[in-house]
Each structure stands twice: as structure tokens, then as C-alpha cells.
Amino acid sequence: MSVLVVGEALVDLIVSPDGATTAVPGGGPFNAARTIARLGVPVAFGGRLSTDAFGRRLSTMLTDDGATVALPAREDLLTTLALAELDESGAATYRFYTLGTAGPAVSPGDLTLTPGTTLVSVGTLGLILEPIATAAEELVSTLPHDVLLVLDPNCRPLVTPNAVEYRARIHRIVPRADVVKVSGDDLQYLYPEFSPIDAARQLLVEGARLVLFTDGAASVRALTRDWEAELPVPRVDVVDTVGAGDAFGGAFIAFWQRSERGRTDLTNESLVRETVERAIAVAGITCQRAGANPPFLHEL
């Protein structure tokens, strides 16, 4: 049983007020793939990388953690960048540099399932930028019935050129989605007319089997059409929260796969609770470390 994670890998350039710059590898799907690999589950990263210095670093980090890079790197494209300029209070203003970069450069037909792939995860810029967004949606539309689909919108309004078209794409994918992982910010962006909890329930109305609603340090809510559960998030000494949500999503995928559970098991409240609790633990450890640095299985 293996996983395919579709989306972007990029580098966050953190610029302090004095102009000092730190390069931090990231991207939600990249972080999730690393988490899955560190937890001992075979995973392929279905995003495009560059052959530049940043791209080589991203590739090395994936393979060092045990992930496979599914697509060949592009020599003619640069690594996708997110520039975060910090003011004196530490607040960040983000700008994304995507034109002529590797992240979006996945065309329809580039993504295929290798034998043994039982779960696919899509999200973040992989559902916003073109042509990768079209390629991801096409892959979703052709998934075999027994392949579990995880949707993590991880909405990015600042880099979304057309909110109406983006929301329409999400609504087209939701009916096939088995698990939708969303934050309060995601729900507010996707369903501005609803409260967050009602927006989570609306995802179920549209066809999702399980919604995992995370809200920072607040409880995680797991919702299906038959039951709802609220699971507490233990307090930890937070270093930063970078990649914590990605680690939670990746850990849920990893532990679900390790237990060889499928689509129909998502209605089992006991199994979902157990998996969510373990994913919360992984996210908690990630918060106690600088950067997106999820734990390995032997550290749990």
C-alpha cells in the first residue's frame, strides 16, 4: 500500500526588517509527503522540482526521508518561491513567485498511479496554479473506486487568481473526496456565508465521507454524516507552528495506511478517533521544533 501526494514544493524566503534572508524548504504537500515517509509508509511526491540549488535540496530532503520523487526535475525552470517579509512586530507580508517556476509545471497526463497506490492526496497550490491544478483534477476524475482520496485545500487567497473558479474546482472534487482536512480559515474562504462548523457540515452534504476540522490549538473535530467527535489538543511548549497542519494531515494518512484501512472504514468512529489522536501527537511534536520537522516513527 503506497501513497501519492500531488502538489507543490517550494522555498520560503524569510526576510527580516534588516534585509537578512533565510531560505526554508516548504509547501504543504512537500511537508505532508515527508511526514508520511518518516512514519514508515511508502509515498511518492507528485510535484515538479527544478534542478537548481533549491530544487536539489528539496529533492534530497524527500529522498533522505524515504519518499520517492515521481516526476523528473526540470532544468529550464526555477524553484517556486514564497517571499515572507517580516515587519518589526514579526508579522509577515507574503508574495509568491510562480511564473516560470517548476511548481505549476505538471501537465495533464503527467500524473499516473503506480501499482499498489491505494491513497492519493491533493491540495494547496496544486489546486490553484496551472497546469498542475487541471492535471490534479483530471487524476481525481479517473481514480479507481478503491483508491482513497484526501483533499487538503489549504487555501491561499493571495495567490488565487480567480476565487470563483477555485471554489468551483474544490466543489467538483469534494464529491469524490473521502477525507477533507480543513482549517477554520479554509472554511471561511470556501463558504463565507456559513459559520465554520456549518461549512464543515456542508462538505458532507456535497459528498465527503469524513471532514477533519483543525483549528490551531483548539480541539480537532471529526465529522461524518452519522456522527461528530471532538478531540482535545494537548498543550505543548510551542517553538513554532510551521508545518504542523501538514504534519497532522500526513500523519492521519500514514497511520490509516499502516493499519490497512480503506474508504469504507472511515465511518467507524473508533478507528477515526484512534487515528486522529495519533495525528494530533505528531503535530504536537512538530510544534515543539523549529520549522517543518515532523517526527520519525521511532520517536513516537
- Output DSSP code: residue 181: E
In the chain, which stretches have pLDDT less than 50?
none
Q: Tell me the per-residue pLDDT of 222-261, one tens digit each, with 9 for 90 and over.
A: 999 999 999 999 898 888 777 889 999 999 999 999 999 9
Closest alpha carbon to 214 in 167, 250, 260: 250
CA distances from 116 to 70, 146, 248 (A): 14, 11, 24
Distance of CA 190 to the CA centre of its chain: 16
Superfamily designation of domain 2-8+28-77+102-299: Ribokinase (3.40.1190.20)
Per-residue pLDDT at 170: 98
Per-residue pLDDT at 81: 96
Beta bridge partners of 82: 12, 96
- Cα–Cα dist 225/61, whole Å: 39
Per-residue pLDDT at 268: 97
Q: Find all residues with CB under 8 Å of 14, minimum gap 6, and list them.
A: 21, 22, 23, 24, 84, 86, 92
Per-residue pLDDT at 86: 78
Residues 270, 271, 277, 283: is their CA dihedral positive or negative? negative
Per-residue pLDDT at 290: 81
Could you tell me if 236 and 248 are in contact, meaning their C-beta atoms sit under 8 angstroms apart?
no
Beta bridge partners of 117: 2
Distance of CA 214 to the CA centre of its chain: 13
- Cα–Cα dist 237/188, whole Å: 28
pTM confidence score: 0.95
- Cα–Cα dist 12/22, whole Å: 8
Q: What is the dihedral of CA 116, 122, 274, 227, to 10 degrees?
A: -120
